[in-house]
Amino acid sequence: MTPLEAELRDRIARDGPVTVTEFMALALYHPEHGYYMTGEPVGKAGAFITAPEISQMFGELLGLWAAAQWRAMGAPEPVSLVELGPGRGTLMADALRAINQAMPGFAQDLSLHLVETSPVLRTQQASALADHAPAWHDSLETLPDGPMLLLANEFLDALPIQQFIRAEGQLAERVVIVDPATDQLAFATGRALPYSAVDPGQDAPMILEANPAANGWVSTVARRLAEQGGAALFIDYGYTAPQTGSTLQAVAAHQKVDPLHQPGEADLTALVNFPEIAHVAGQEGATAHGPRGQGAFLRNLGIEARRDMLLANAGESQAGEIQSACARLIDPDQMGTLFQCLGLTGPGAPLPPGFAPEESPEEI
């Protein structure tokens, strides 16, 4: 039994069932036992490997995306370059290297801001980005005023979701209990809710999901873009059509596990509802572009041309790794369609790179 499971059991015995939202928040962000607060979630030693860890091409292209958008905005100065959930700092290190080579004026004018709550990851980010004087923030509220360019890769999927069960003609929130029959943590049906809390529709699935946390982050970003200018890019695994059933999943040591297994020692995620966050952004006055599959988006940014440049100077074994990494990022049966990209801009801003139906990489 993990320390967090022991704490959860005590809480359930004292106060009753915890909601899925509360369980996910504690499992990931508990100050002493949360997965993101105490461990190393990213990389070979962690639970998963993100796109920036797969290949330098990913971060480089996102850096060039930000640089092209800065130029399209009229090259404002100063400008904030922001990343939500920067992991080990790999994406931003690759992005800044590409920015410095392609557009040194942008590199000189930007100030770097990282929104990160994990002490372990902040230490790794400080090492990876030591030459760029980053400032750290717990939330968006402490960012400096002015135009910003924001990157968020696999950030929204780790925010706590709500789950609701349609049963016996009612909606009820899904909760976590200690099953008296097995003495194990288990999902159960919680208190009934009025239909006004969640619109079930006439043919609602058994389990409905909502993500007010993700909507809140996107709403704050969109409102700021509408008021102060800039652009944001959200990349995550999610869906673009109505989703039925639970999308909550857990990964430990690169293997899928039961979400209730060893809380605090596994990563918990849920699919992102891209149409919903695009709608939320529009309500705040921002313009949403996409969603677009990651494969099509990266091809529009020129990932295949960058791959060929790397291959020209690679040995045989390294060439295989480069080819494999590129395929993993863009192929439809890998990350190419599972991951979606959504761009946000202030009203009247030009279409961001990567979102046109067809683009020439030379134009980016």
Q: Identify whether 301 is part of a domain.
A: yes
- How many Cβ atoms sit within 10 Å of the Cβ of residue 119? 10
Comparing 202 with 293, the larger pLDDT belongs to: 293
pLDDT band at 65 (very low <50, low <70, confident <90, very high): very high
Predicted pLDDT at 38 = 76
Predicted pLDDT at 39 = 63
Residue 73 has pLDDT above 60, yes or no: yes
Comparing 204 with 213, the larger pLDDT belongs to: 213
Per-residue model confidence as pLDDT tens digits over 246-255: 999 999 887 8
Terminal Cα-to-Cα distance of the chain (whole angstroms): 52
Closest CA to 303 of 48, 13, 63, 42: 63
Bridge pairing between strands 230-239 and 272-273: parallel
- CB neighbour list of residue 294: distance below 8 Å, 6 or more residues apart: 51, 235, 329, 330, 335, 336, 337, 338, 339, 340, 341
Read off the tokens for 89. Answer: 């700092």
Burial class of residue 142, CB neighbours in 10 A (0-12, 13-18, 19+): exposed
CATH of the domain at 301: 3.40.50.150
- Whole-number mean pLDDT of the chain? 91
Predicted pLDDT at 362 = 47
Report the percent of the chain where pLDDT is more than 70. 91
Domains: count for the chain: 1
Residue 113 has pLDDT above 60, yes or no: yes
Q: Please state whether the predicted TM-score (pTM) of the whole model is above 0.85.
A: yes
Question: Comparing 187-191, 291-295, 329-333, which segment has the lowest mean pLDDT?
Answer: 187-191
Residue 194 has pLDDT above 80, yes or no: no
Q: Identify whether 276 is part of a domain.
A: yes
Bridge pairing between strands 184-193 and 272-273: unpaired
3-state secondary structure at position 121:
helix
- Taking residues 144-158, what's their average pLDDT? 97
Closest CA to 270 of 223, 212, 220, 222: 212
Closest CA to 80 of 105, 106, 119: 106
Q: Identify whether 162 is part of a domain.
A: no
Question: Please, are residues 18 and 100 in contact by the beta-carbon 8 Å criterion?
Answer: no
Question: Comparing 7-11, 47-51, 84-88, 152-156, which segment has the lowest mean pLDDT?
Answer: 47-51
Q: What is the CA radius of gyration of the chain?
A: 21
Residue 45 has pLDDT above 70, yes or no: no
Q: Can you tell me the distance from the alpha carbon of 130 to that of 116, in angstroms, rounded to the nearest whole number?
A: 16
Read off the tokens for 241. Answer: 């059509």
C-alpha distance from residue 122 to each of 112, 234, 322 (Å): 14, 21, 29
Residue type, 2: T
pLDDT band at 363 (very low <50, low <70, confident <90, very high): very low
Domain that holds residue 275: 45-156+211-240+271-354
Question: Comparing 9-18, 147-156, 201-210, 224-233, which segment has the lowest mean pLDDT?
Answer: 201-210
Question: Comparing 40-44, 223-227, 230-234, 299-303, which segment has the lowest mean pLDDT?
Answer: 40-44
Q: Identify whether 151 is part of a domain.
A: yes
Please state at what angle helix 119-128 crosses helix 90-102, rounded to 10 degrees. 30
Closest CA to 293 of 242, 221, 241: 241
Bridge pairing between strands 255-257 and 267-269: unpaired
Q: Identify whether 221 is part of a domain.
A: yes
Torsional sign, CA 46, 50, 56, 60: negative
